[in-house]
Structure 1
Amino acid sequence: MAEQVDAHFARLDAAVKNGQAKRGLKAADEILKLAPGDADALRCKVVLLIELGNFEEAMKLVTQPPLAASMAFEKAYCLYRRGKLKEALAALAAVPADQEVPRLQLEAQIQYRLGGNKEAIALYSQLYRSHSLESQEVQTNVVAAYVSGGRAGEVPAVMQAMKISAKDSFEIAFNVACGLVDAGQLRAAEEQLQLAVRVGEEALYDEDLAEADVAAELAPVTAQLAYVAERLGRQEEAAASYEAVLGLALEDATTASVATNNLYAALLSRASSSTSRKVAGEAVKKLDAFMERSGGVLRLKSALEPRLGPMQREALLASYATAALLANKVDVAKEAVRSIEKQLPEAAVTAMLQASLHWKEGKPREADAALAALAASGGSDAAEASLMRAQLAAARGDSVQALAHLSAAGDASWQAQPAVLATKLALLEGQGQGQADEVASTLASALQQWQSTPESAQRSGAVSWILKQLAALRLRQGELAQAAAHYSQLVGLDPEALEDPDVLSRCAQLAAVCDGSDAAVLRQRLQQQAPPAKLSAADLDALEHASIAVTSVQRKAADSAAAHGPAGAAPPQLAAGGDERKKRKRKRQPRYPKGFDPANPGPPPDPERWLPKWQRSDAKKLRKKLKSKDAAKGSQGAGKADDALDRSNVVDEPEAKPKAPARPPGGKGKKGKGRR
């Protein structure tokens, strides 16, 4: 029997050395049949089960008395792979001191999965300083921990200290690129990701992998490249890359979930109001494949959840809830929001989703109350909450409250952005004509904010836009001199502004009205410019409208001056002909039906298509035609009558003889017989 056990151990040793885990497992089972409870065979079986991914059966063995004390590390590793991270962290306390290096590695990885990036970085630093561990896997994890911990700026120094480069492996290049994405350096991140693809393809093709397998291995890099392309504005390229990743039938649920989430987020951002509900419904179906219901709670699948960080889990659940709201699946959205509240109680997105749900149910006050605490918190999400409150207030017609919430969001530089200014101006105009001074002060403060920033293309565009708005405001108020000053300042900052027909016409009109010297300066500037191209019909319309606008403003100012007394000399008329104004016909753009091609209209529609059929002009002709079709003509209907109805052509049949009456039953009777 001992010889048989030794033979099986020899087979087990050969299988382990050759990497044949299944053969080794069979040999271990044969040994345990001959020698039940053999500690060495049990330890080998546990390791082989872990290599084969059978963590549940391995857990059963390591919890049995012969192995419980000596295989604490294997127990912690099985718990980690089954997604029980906190239990695995507690089990590491029983790992003996002689296994300190693997314990530190596993503890750092568990902390990284739990979001404890500071703890993970400290553990990796201990591995390097105390144990001089320089494996490529650990180096990759160190870079990933720094990136996830918000310390991407320290990655170059850390890589220099570890004497590694992005060209050493595509995993390191990928993690470096992720750090650059977090730092907002998208162009540099794209270059690093392309480097990761080249390095990965070289390494994987050297291992004799097929093309499909190489594409599957590099799927995370491809998905990240698609995300960077989307951030850079290349939407179609990003969508095509996401679809290519999802078309690989990946076994990696992490990459598949991220690619699915990003794809439908991009599609929903570009969907029109008529197609958004359909796209959202598809998104719910696709994202539902990564969800499961456990204990009445919606959560990510058990195999996927431990492989995602807290931010990724929050994003997936929030996307699922948002898509359900857009698809009008309120019950599904409520289930997702409850799940986020239980699993991620500190997530700021919960309040925003609750506000959206209340608004969907027609409860505007509850929606605003759900956001009030988050907006007052002063955290990083307070600005988004204030923006959402402003949007809800504007939707219910409360422009005063919407303006107050909008003014509370962001700092002074953010408030000076043209998009924010345009929204504030629209809200102020919605409050009536008495807000002109506040509009002017808002624009003036924004102009001062931009003028204090360094020169840039963004600064030039913002200042030009603000000056145009200020000039238009002064023009509406009849303050022509100030409007001319703003236009003069605009042209001084950006001489190319005169290429805009609207600006050119108003500058010329105002220069003629306000000051003749301005007209001379304008003429000199126009002579220095290249000859303008031929104006289109749209440019000519813009010139005509601008001239009419300036003329009307000047006339209103003159009427106002005449009504309030001689405050000064009346400005001269801009056009000859007195006060006689011809009514100009408005040019309306024709609206065509959906799918109609003006270049190929086809036959014209029937003008009588709205009338009942019996009232149409062709109905009488049709009635006459039907009436005369079978009409009988001639005397007594000759030629049209049915001959079968003419009784004169019927041959007389001989009269039938009358039948004798039937005899009564009972046989022959004799006369004279009767009742006696």
Structure 2
Amino acid sequence: MAATGKSLANLLAQTSLDDHDEILKAANAAIKKSKADLVAQHAKAVALLKLDRFEDAVKLFEDTPAAQERARFEYAYALYKSGSAGKAVEIVEGHDSSRAMKHVLAQAAYRSENFEQAANVYKQLSSQHVQAEEYDIRINSGAVDAQLEWAGLGDLAQKKKPTREDLDVFETAYNAACGSISRGEFAQGEVCLRRAKDLCNALTDLSEAEKKAEILPITVQQIYVLTQLGRLEEAEQLLTSVPFSEIKELSTRYIAQVNSIAASREHSNPYLSHRLFHSSPKPPKTDHHFTFQTNLLRQNEYVMDLLSQKVTGVAHSTFKVVSNSRAPTTSPSVNTAAVLNTAAHARNLTEKAALKEILPLLEKRPNDIGLLLTITQLYILTNNHFAAAHLLESLFKRLEQSRSSYDLDVRYAPGLVATLVSLYAFQGRYSHSKTELAKAASYWRHKSKTTSKALMTAAGTALLESQNKESLKSAGEIFGALFEQDETDRAAIAGLVAAFSLTDPSKLSPELVDSLPQASRLISDIDATALEDAGVPALAASTLAQPESKKRSAEKATIGKPHKIRKSRQPKDFNPNKKMDPERWLPMRDRSYYKPKGKKGKRKMEGLTQGGPVADEKAAENKPAPGSGGGGGGQKKKKGKGKGGKW
């Protein structure tokens, strides 16, 4: 065995690094003599990796368990390249002390969609400065930031806006564009994509074929952005320049063909679009889509089926997804399937007619979040906001009563809380909004350190509007936690200063206050004179000099010609030249000029006056005279049974 290892080492020393076929032949010959030769097994594995035969390398390691421990790096890399990124992460974890292992771990974590782990590994790699790797780490970190945004973990992203250095190279410019698109900033994304194409075309070390291969994915992304911006003519024109067959990555080609249906006005026939959609090539395991892409593509498939009147099939397939999942859930794929299942049951009906069809489903699936949100939206469309809020309140009450940790996570999900708070705000129920936000913030503060920044900021802001000391204290704690996570967060700093200034000013450090922008800087570009000239109302001098307003007479207030009375409506003694009494519709006693006659009439009039003293005529007549002792003078009339005491 020692001789075999020595002969193989001599052979490897004599061969060139590019002659991997010869190395593989020599390794196979050595293994044929001794299958336990780990040196030969290791050499064969490296040769297979160099020849891009990743599945053969994985099979080699699985057939030889001893080689897995000897060549752990090569085994993990083979798993990653063969499409088993999750298993590669398991192999590397705990053995990532070397820099090479960390690189494999970061890439495998990224491909297995553990973006938080990938971001942490790249932070470690960037902290240990290696100039030769700086460029690659910057590119990969930008890709991780974009995926964190798409996965709903944008708070963990290192960059929120493209920097100048990101727009110096086409790879970083493309990743900056993806980051902008993931945040919904399509205009900024389109600018970055144009910059990436220009930088790629300007490269001198790439051939025209290589440039074309790099620009095609950028163009596919640009078509999507133009569609989202509503610039359909530009998207359709750009679409004609894309040769789908030349896109090497099948995952990108599949997305390009699907998006071409949405961007092109030629595919108006749903049946032809359905056929084109299903004719797109499916990518292999090594080039599969990310989860958020898969969910959108599946959603598009269901929509195409609905447009093609395949309602029963959509209802059946989506119900399988919903019934095989736990309810309630915040999973986008499950809830999207529930929404499309609801659409299939509605059968193209809208608003009240659709509600009539799908409300019976809620009795069978009361905790189906997708179904419940669809009904909420239909209630809003029919202006029944109270019913929409009551629906969410009932769900929250059920989930609170279950006391399950999983159910409580759903109950305080930021999206659901935001929906109910928006309904409260529309109805003017601001106290309910503050209470709901405070409860959600309190739950997540005690539940997890990584909470929704938007939810916590909204809750803290709402609590600051209260005059309650406990609420102000809670607001300070919320903004304090946000400040600990990110000391450059201006919203957290402003909230913290506002809370401490009301509760405990001694906690305000000068550095914290000075970190906020000065008021003079914020209003430096505001021209008060220009605002007044633009239409800001101002009090006239005559108004200030004469505080008492002048009443306009009825004659001056009359606009237009007087109404002409038809002859059939005119009384016999009608005189058109005589002015009619404007109070003729009122009873005589209610008219302004009515004057009662006699003592009884005047006394009665005083009793009828609103707010005036009420005089009982009989009581006045039977009232005992002064000095008579008040013995049993006038007898009061008894109240009837069951009367009196009620307003």
TM-score normalised to structure 2 length: 0.52
Alignment match of 1:367 (pick from 358, 363, 368) = 358
Aligned residue type for 1:45: K
Shift in Å, 1:37: 4.1
How far apart, in 2, do the equivalents of 1:403 and 1:236 lie?
42
Aligned residue type for 1:138: I
Instruction: Please say if residues 117 and 145 of structure 1, whose CA atoms lie closer than 8 Å, have aligned partners that are also in contact.
Output: yes
Residue equivalent to 1:358: 345
Residue equivalent to 2:215: 218
Residue equivalent to 2:262: 265
Aligned residue type for 2:59: K
How far apart, in 1, do the equivalents of 2:91 and 2:5 lie?
33
User: What is the 5 A alignment of 1:142-291?
Assistant: 142-150=141-149, 151=154, 155-156=158-159, 165-203=165-203, 205-207=204-206, 209-211=207-209, 213-267=210-264, 275-287=268-280, 289-290=281-282
Identical-pair percentage: 21
How far apart, in 1, do the equivalents of 2:565 and 2:336 lie?
56
- Does residue 78 of structure 2 align to residue 87 of structure 1? no
Instruction: Please say if residues 338 and 368 of structure 2, whose CA atoms lie closer than 8 Å, have aligned partners that are also in contact.
Output: no
Aligned residue type for 2:358: A
How far apart, in 2, do the equivalents of 1:23 and 1:518 lie?
104
Residue equivalent to 1:323: 304
Unaligned 5+ runs, structure 1: 291-299, 392-398, 417-491, 494-513, 520-553, 570-676
Shift in Å, 1:279: 4.2
Instruction: Please say if residues 86 and 109 of structure 2, whose CA atoms lie closer than 8 Å, have aligned partners that are also in contact.
Output: no
Deviation string, structure 1 residues 586-621 (Cα, Å, up to 9, x no partner): xxxxxxxxxxxxxxxxxxxxxxxxxxxxxxxxxxxx
How far apart, in 1, do the equivalents of 2:36 and 2:170 lie?
45
How far apart, in 2, do the equivalents of 1:24 and 1:567 lie?
117
Aligned residue type for 2:377: L
How far apart, in 2, do the equivalents of 1:262 and 1:278 lie?
16
- Does residue 376 of structure 2 align to residue 386 of structure 1? yes
Give aligned pairs, total: 407
Residue equivalent to 1:590: none
Aligned residue type for 1:353: L
How far apart, in 2, do the equivalents of 1:246 and 1:402 lie?
49
Secondary structure at 1:115 match in 2: coil
Unaligned 5+ runs, structure 2: 392-418, 428-533, 536-554, 572-579, 584-647
Instruction: Please say if residues 108 and 124 of structure 1, whose CA atoms lie closer than 8 Å, have aligned partners that are also in contact.
Output: yes
Secondary structure at 2:247 match in 1: coil
Shift in Å, 1:401: 5.9
User: What is the 5 A alignment of 1:576-615?
Assistant: none
Instruction: Please say if residues 116 and 148 of structure 2, whose CA atoms lie closer than 8 Å, have aligned partners that are also in contact.
Output: yes
Shift in Å, 1:315: 0.4
How far apart, in 2, do the equivalents of 1:559 and 1:372 lie?
61
Secondary structure at 1:149 match in 2: helix
RMSD, matched Cα:
5.0
Residue equivalent to 1:116: 114
Instruction: Please say if residues 45 and 60 of structure 2, whose CA atoms lie closer than 8 Å, have aligned partners that are also in contact.
Output: yes
Shift in Å, 1:224: 1.4
Deviation string, structure 1 residues 15-40 (Cα, Å, up to 9, x no partner): 5523x444443343344446654322
Shift in Å, 1:175: 0.9
Shift in Å, 1:117: 2.6
Residue equivalent to 1:139: 138
Residue equivalent to 2:39: 40
Residue equivalent to 2:71: 71
Q: 1:146 to 1:515 in 2, by over 3 A?
A: farther
Q: 1:278 to 1:129 in 2, by over 3 A?
A: same
- Does residue 97 of structure 2 align to residue 107 of structure 1? no
Secondary structure at 1:245 match in 2: coil
Instruction: Please say if residues 174 and 218 of structure 2, whose CA atoms lie closer than 8 Å, have aligned partners that are also in contact.
Output: yes
Instruction: Please say if residues 9 and 27 of structure 1, whose CA atoms lie closer than 8 Å, have aligned partners that are also in contact.
Output: no
Q: 1:116 to 1:35 in 2, by over 3 A?
A: closer
How far apart, in 2, do the equivalents of 1:15 and 1:563 lie?
119
Shift in Å, 1:283: 4.3
Instruction: Please say if residues 317 and 336 of structure 1, whose CA atoms lie closer than 8 Å, have aligned partners that are also in contact.
Output: no
How far apart, in 1, do the equivalents of 2:276 and 2:365 lie?
28
Shift in Å, 1:282: 2.9
Residue equivalent to 1:51: 50
Alignment match of 2:126 (pick from 111, 128, 132) = 128
Q: 1:302 to 1:407 in 2, by over 3 A?
A: same
Deviation string, structure 1 residues 315-370 (Cα, Å, up to 9, x no partner): 01111111112112346535753675569955321111111222239995563455
After superposing the two structures, state which structure 1 stretch, 227-236 or 132-141, moved more: 132-141
Q: 1:184 to 1:518 in 2, by over 3 A?
A: farther
Secondary structure at 1:17 match in 2: coil
Instruction: Please say if residues 147 and 155 of structure 1, whose CA atoms lie closer than 8 Å, have aligned partners that are also in contact.
Output: no
Q: 1:254 to 1:517 in 2, by over 3 A?
A: farther
User: What is the 5 A alignment of 1:473-492?
Assistant: none
Aligned residue type for 1:302: K
How far apart, in 2, do the equivalents of 1:214 and 1:165 lie?
21
